[in-house]
């Protein structure tokens, strides 16, 4: 009994729509990301979650913390254990724990100046459209 196996041209016809559907997702991965005005710059060393080292000091990830990779996809903290990253991050207001983390690409990390402390963020001026900070 002969089996119906798609021929090579038919496979290409099936693959073309799938490629067209995935193309926008690939393009979004390299689009410029925007960061909130309360995002600070730092270096995070991931250890046993929820523990982290933030700028060399012990800190904790907030419950429900969101970590976005360089491709802007969500990352689980356990998969980053033992790694060090330059990041932008936000703090949870009440507890001071780290709420949002963006692992920075080289082009994003090169944007300077960027505040590393809350005091700097309060005294500097942020241009949300250009994603740049200006010192007083």
Q: How far is 47 from 88, CA to CA, in rounded Å? A: 18
Instruction: Using pLDDT thresholds of 50, 70 and 90, give the confidence band for residue 115.
Output: very high
| Helix or strand run (H / E) with residue 86 | strand 84-91
**So what's the pLDDT on residue 3?**
73
C-alpha count within 13 angstroms, C-beta hemisphere, residue 135: 6
pLDDT tens per residue across span 12-23: 555 555 555 555
Q: In degrees rounded to 5, what are phi and psi of residue 98?
A: -80, 120
Q: What share of the chain is helix, strand, coil (3-state, %, to 5)?
A: 25, 35, 40
pLDDT tens per residue across span 86-99: 999 999 999 999 99
Instruction: Using pLDDT thresholds of 50, 70 and 90, give the confidence band for residue 130.
Output: very high
Please name the residue ranges forming H helices in 4-129. Answer: 8-29, 106-109, 118-123
Q: Give the predicted TM-score (pTM) of the model.
A: 0.76
């Amino acid at each position: 009994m002969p089996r119906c196996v798609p021929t090579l041209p038919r496979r290409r016809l099936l693959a073309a729509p799938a490629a067209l559907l995935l193309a926008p997702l690939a393009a979004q991965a390299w689009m410029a990301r925007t960061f909130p005005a309360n995002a600070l710059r730092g270096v995070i060393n991931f250890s046993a979650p929820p523990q982290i080292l933030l700028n060399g000091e012990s800190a904790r990830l907030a419950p429900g913390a969101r970590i976005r990779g360089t491709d802007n996809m969500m990352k689980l903290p356990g998969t980053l254990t033992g790694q060090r990253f330059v990041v932008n991050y936000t703090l949870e207001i009440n507890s001071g724990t780290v709420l949002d983390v963006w692992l920075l690409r080289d082009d994003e990390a090169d944007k300077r100046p960027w505040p590393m402390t809350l005091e700097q963020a309060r005294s500097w001026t942020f241009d949300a459209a250009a994603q740049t900070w200006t010192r007083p």
